[in-house]
Structures are given as C-alpha cells and as structure tokens.
Amino acid sequence: MSFDLVLFGGTGDLTWRKLMPALFQAFRHGKLPPGGRILSVARDERSDDAYRAFIKERFGEVDSAKRPSDEEFAQFAELVHYRRMDLSRPEDYAGLKQWVEARDADTTVLFLATSPHLFPQIVSQLGNVGLNGPKVRVVLEKPLGHDLASAQEINRVVRAAFREEQALRIDHYLGKPAVQNLMALRFGNVLFEPLWRRESIANIQITIAESLGVGTRGDFYDRTGALRDMVQNHALQLLTMVAMEPPSRNDADAIRDEKLKVLRSLKPFTEESVARDVVRGQYRAGNCDGARAVAYHDEVKVPSGSTTETFVALRTEIQNWRWAGVPFYLRTGKRLAERDAQIVVNFRPTPHSIFPGVHRPNKLVIKLQPEDGLELHLLAAKGSGQSEALAPVFLDLDFDKAFAENRVGAYERLLLDAIAGRLNLFVRSDEQEQAWRWVEPVLAAWRNDGTPPRPYAAGTWGPAAASALVARDGFAWAEEQ
C-alpha cells in the first residue's frame, strides 16, 4: 500500500523530536508500508538534502537506542522530502496537491504538527484546493482548543472540509502499549471482568506524574496549565478505557461509543464540588531527579505572579450501575517525586477475615511508564506457623521484557494506524467535546476563585491537600499505602 505522509510543521519540535524518530523506528522494524514518501513542509526554502541533513543532526538528540546508523539514515532519508510552503497562500496548497496527485498513492495522510492556531487556516485551504478526497486523512495534534467553544470551532472547520472518519485526533497516551494491554486484560481474559465493578472495587486511581518541569515551554504551559494539558485529554482517556463497558466489536466506533458513554456519565462539577473535590498546585523550588529545581514562576517565559496550576488531583464518580459510588481519583503534575504513570485498581477487603492481623486488600497496578507491565498484589501464607498473619506477595508481569522485540512506541503505533486507516486509537470529536464540557466548570470555578494554587516543593507528590482528598474517603494514594 503506497502512501504519502505530509508533515505540516516539518521543522518544528514535534516533527524532529517525536514523529521522525517514530517513523524511523517503523522503517527499522520493517513496519512502514513500502512505497511511502514523507514530505515535510515548512516556511523556509531548503533542498531535500538540506532538510535531511537537518533531521540527521537532530537525531543526535534523541534516545541513543532510537538513533540511526549512517547507513540506516541514508536508506531512511530516501523516503524524506521537503517543500517550502507559505500556509496563507492558496497557490502553495495547489502546488502540494499537484505533488500528491502526480503519483496518486493509495493513501495520503496530512499530519498537522503546527501550532494549533493554524489548524483552521490549513484545514480550510486543504478543502478549498480539493486535498480532501476519500483517500486523504488529516491528523490533528493536541491541544485541540482551549475550552469547549474553541474545540467546537476547530471541529466545525474540520467538518466543513473532511468527514469525521477522515479526521484523526491524536492522544498519544492511547498509543502507549500499556493502554492496548488494558483492552486485552479486560476484554481478552475472563478473569477480571466479573470483578470489574462496584461490588468488588473500592476505588481507582489514575496517576500521571512527571519529574520534569515545564522546560522551554513556559509560555505555552502558562496559558494552558495541567488541567488542559493532561487531564482533559490523557487522564480522561485512560479513565474511559478503564471504565467503559465491553464494546461489541474491536472497531473504532464501537469502542468510541462506549468511551463517550463513560464521559457522559461522569458526575458533573459544581462550584461547590470543585472547591471540595479538586486540588490544584504549583511547584516551588526543591530537589528533583537528584538536582536542584527552580520554582515554576522562576522558569523561563513564565510570569512571576503566575497562578497557572502545574498539579491537579481530583475525585470524581461515574454515574451508572457498574460504578455508582466508586471514587475515581485522577492526579497529574510536573516536578513530582518521580516519572510514573499508572492506574491502580484497589479492590475491596474480604468481607470476613479468618486470619490474624490487618490485611491490605488486593490491588491491580497497570503500569504505563517508565515500566510497562502489570502487578497483581495478593496475600499468601508463608507456611511457617499455624496461625500466622498473611504476607503480601505480588505477581509482576513485565511486558517490555516479554514482548521486547515487538513493542512499538506510541507515535510509531499511531502513525502506522493513521497510514493504514485504523481509527480505534484516535479520539472522535464528540468524545473530545464531552471531555471539554466536563472540565469547563472547573476552569470557571478557578477563574472566579481568587485563591492561588497550593504550593508544593519540587520532588514531592504535590500539595498535602491531595492526600487529604483521598484520606477523606478512608483511602490513600498508592505510594502512601
């Protein structure tokens, strides 16, 4: 299947940091369909060779395991082309169309890796020039909007030029292997599904912790904050995957219909519940990853009096028969104690204990990163005495090790899916809008509330109020258990 992949924003960070390394990995693994062309477009004039040299140099900054040798790069570079485009000029789109049509590949994927404020312009120009035929797909990177109204506006423009199934919204968390495994765990095995409900589960915790600060993205981040950057998309997508009903088929709309139902069942926030159930924080200086870290408001391009949150913890519920009353805790932040993304399913205690001592209930930990695996925490008898207390033990499945050869990174997976037209792991516009609808009352309450985010020291697990939020229900975050 021949393909043309056009990367708008061809010299930008996303392209050289994530997309080119992912494409190279796909190429190295022999997964990129033959007959492909990758065309980067950007504003300045350069030749194909100059662009290839630029990408080659940038590969020096990616993970060494993902760096090509000279020979590998030379082969990969044959697929890579460059074209200058002024995104405001209709004739430049006409030129692009000619380039695409001259070969008439089986499929054309137009990846918008530019700043999102350019999406409406690019998408409508593509429509005007007719680069929106049935073989064309357009891929949109987050952030898709700043709130519900702006997300709806982007969707309106996209819909005017492309059908829903031609528009692929990326949430790279859905491309992480652990998230695929969550589907496999729930719907490929009989073991957990009968327990996957309020009768057996006490609470579910979703943590996406980062030890990095905002780095060089201070200006973007300060306009965005953790709720928009991580909760509205990544954390909520994980929640839908954990909580959805079994889809009837492994196909995009069957899955996305179920995810949408979860988003629609989330308990809506009110001003009162935001004050009670949402904690926002901002990091101060501290020690992180073995080095001194500056406070958020001392980061480059961050205004000194900023009240943008770098941490959010919240409690919500899903109002349906399966989950009524089960707290879902979501937590994310920058400059936390470690880089750690995981979903912890805490089961209820046994109804009656015949063993001495106090026992921890079972728990299942779905580890997204840095490791990719599963831990099932159980209790066992050591066999050393007659009335001994039970001892905690756990089964530890390391998927990186088990499937080392075949594991693919999130962007590699999503790019290959975009080329093949597999939509399961892309977010549909109604899901995305519903997620915005749910976070909007939180944004509004924060706007009306004059109090700044709670401070926390870099290198910790966030403000103490986040622990109190969970403790109030008689539970504790995984690292405190």
| Residue 172 or 335 with smaller CB distance to ligand BG6 | 172
Residue 431 binds to ligand BG6 (criterion: CB under 6 A):
no
| Nearest distance from C-beta of residue 225 to ligand BG6, angstroms | 10
| Residue 108 or 232 with smaller CB distance to ligand BG6 | 232
The residue among 167, 226, 233 whose CA lies nearest residue 423 is: 167
Task: Please give the structure tokens belonging to residue 314.
Answer: 């919240």
154 phi-psi bin (left φ>0, alpha ψ -120 to 50, beta other): alpha
| Residue 216 or 353 with smaller CB distance to ligand BG6 | 216
- Active-site annotation holder among 81, 172, 234, 377: 234
Position closest to ligand BG6 via CB: 229
Residue 23 to residue 145: CA distance in whole angstroms:
27
Site string for ligand BG6, 135-174 (x = CB under 6 A): -------x-----------------------------x--
| Nearest distance from C-beta of residue 230 to ligand BG6, angstroms | 6
Contact 173, 410 (CB under 8 A): yes
230 phi-psi bin (left φ>0, alpha ψ -120 to 50, beta other): alpha
In the range 6-35, which residues lie near ligand BG6 by CB under 6 A? none
- Is 234 marked active-site? yes
Task: Please give the structure tokens belonging to residue 271.
Answer: 């001003």
Contact 120, 15 (CB under 8 A): no
Contact 249, 190 (CB under 8 A): no
Residue 421 to residue 11: CA distance in whole angstroms:
25
| Nearest distance from C-beta of residue 390 to ligand BG6, angstroms | 36
Residue 276 to residue 90: CA distance in whole angstroms:
51
Is the link from the previous residue into 463 a cis peptide, with omega within 30 of 0?
Answer: no
Contact 119, 112 (CB under 8 A): yes
DSSP 8-state assignment for residue 200: T
| Nearest distance from C-beta of residue 428 to ligand BG6, angstroms | 18
Residue 235 to residue 208: CA distance in whole angstroms:
7
Site string for ligand BG6, 200-239 (x = CB under 6 A): ----------x------------------x----------
Please say whether the dihedral angle defined by the alpha carbons of residues 195, 398, 174 and 315, taken in this order, is positive or negative. Answer: positive
| Residue 125 or 282 with smaller CB distance to ligand BG6 | 282
CA 303 distance to own-chain centroid: 27
| Residue 23 or 341 with smaller CB distance to ligand BG6 | 341
Alpha carbons within 13 angstroms on the beta-carbon side of residue 454 total 16
Contact 435, 233 (CB under 8 A): yes
Residue 117 to residue 170: CA distance in whole angstroms:
16
| Nearest distance from C-beta of residue 210 to ligand BG6, angstroms | 6
- # residues near ligand BG6 by CB under 6 A: 5
| Residue 205 or 362 with smaller CB distance to ligand BG6 | 205
Site string for ligand BG6, 335-354 (x = CB under 6 A): ------x-------------
| Residue 10 or 409 with smaller CB distance to ligand BG6 | 409
DSSP E strand boundaries for 46-102: 80-84
| Nearest distance from C-beta of residue 113 to ligand BG6, angstroms | 13
| Nearest distance from C-beta of residue 190 to ligand BG6, angstroms | 31
Question: Which residues are part of the catalytic machinery?
Answer: 234
Binding site for ligand BG6 (CB under 6 A): 142, 172, 210, 229, 341
